[in-house]
């Protein structure tokens, strides 16, 4: 199986957890996109659910597939969120935000009783950090925030290059800062290894100007990993 087939296989396994009447969070990214499409097929076949999307891109996909949508203002408590990840450690801590939706993804995950993460085998790692850690910041006072982010990281572990993410396509001008759905910018921190995700998460959360970071610690309850040898399920202990 190639990576896309693995993502789809993980998405299909996640559908087994969906029950009629559930209030769902719908993730963002290439793997979550497969899940949304497959969920839409179930909805058209009669499955009664309602969902909160974690990005405008996912909202558009869900509407195209006929999935009934709500908001966290209307439905503040969700049963389950299904989302992807950029990296998954054995304790089910995650790096997310490669697609730029980390703030909404974390809000939706935190509002859910459970979070299922779906991924292909390449996302499973021994230690987080090879994937650059996204840190969402307000544009106001960017230089001061960047300096404070660097200090927060080095208070916990060795630092690494911090890069302002640039827009590549879409409605924004290529080369200008990438802008999230919430109107923020993203710093990508190339740290190599994150030995203590919880400590780093706490340090970054304390920085004024940081809206959110891509360390998801203690949120994922189940991970579904699909690889060449099949699909496996890992639960948080």
Cα 109 to Cα 124: distance, rounded to the nearest angstrom: 20
Instruction: Check 16, 37, 74, 105 and give the catalytic one.
Output: 105
Residue with tokens 């001008």: 173
Check if 105 is active-site: yes
185: number of Cβ within 10 Å: 21
What pairing do the DSSP bridges indicate for beta strands 222-227 and 230-235?
antiparallel
As a whole number of angstroms, the distance between CA 54 and CA 149 comes to 25
3-state secondary structure of 167: coil
Phi, psi of 53 (to 5 degrees): -80, 150
Distance CA 78, CA 136 (A): 24
Would you name the residues annotated as active-site residues? 105
């Amino acid at each position: 199986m190639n990576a896309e087939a693995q993502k789809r296989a993980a998405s299909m396994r996640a559908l087994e957890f969906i029950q009629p009447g559930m209030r769902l969070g719908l993730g963002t990214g290439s793997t979550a996109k497969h899940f949304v499409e497959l969920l839409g097929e179930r909805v058209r076949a009669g499955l009664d659910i309602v969902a909160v999307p974690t990005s405008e891109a996912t909202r558009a996909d869900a509407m195209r597939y006929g999935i009934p949508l709500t908001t966290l203002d209307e439905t503040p408590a969700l049963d389950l969120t299904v989302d992807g990840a950029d990296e998954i450690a054995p304790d089910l801590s995650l790096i997310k935000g490669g697609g730029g939706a980390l703030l909404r993804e974390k809000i939706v995950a935190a509002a859910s009783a459970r979070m299922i993460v779906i991924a292909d085998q390449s996302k499973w790692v021994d230690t987080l950090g090879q994937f650059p850690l996204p840190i969402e910041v307000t544009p106001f006072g960017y230089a001061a925030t960047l300096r404070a982010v660097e200090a927060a990281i080095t208070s916990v572990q060795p630092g690494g290059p911090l890069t302002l993410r640039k827009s590549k396509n879409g409605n924004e001008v290529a080369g200008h800062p990438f802008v999230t759905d919430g109107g923020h910018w993203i710093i990508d921190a190339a740290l190599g290894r994150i030995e203590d995700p919880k400590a780093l998460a706490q340090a970054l959360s304390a920085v004024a100007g940081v809206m959110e970071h891509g360390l998801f610690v203690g949120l994922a309850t189940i991970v579904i990993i699909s690889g060449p040898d099949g699909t496996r399920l890992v639960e948080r202990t």
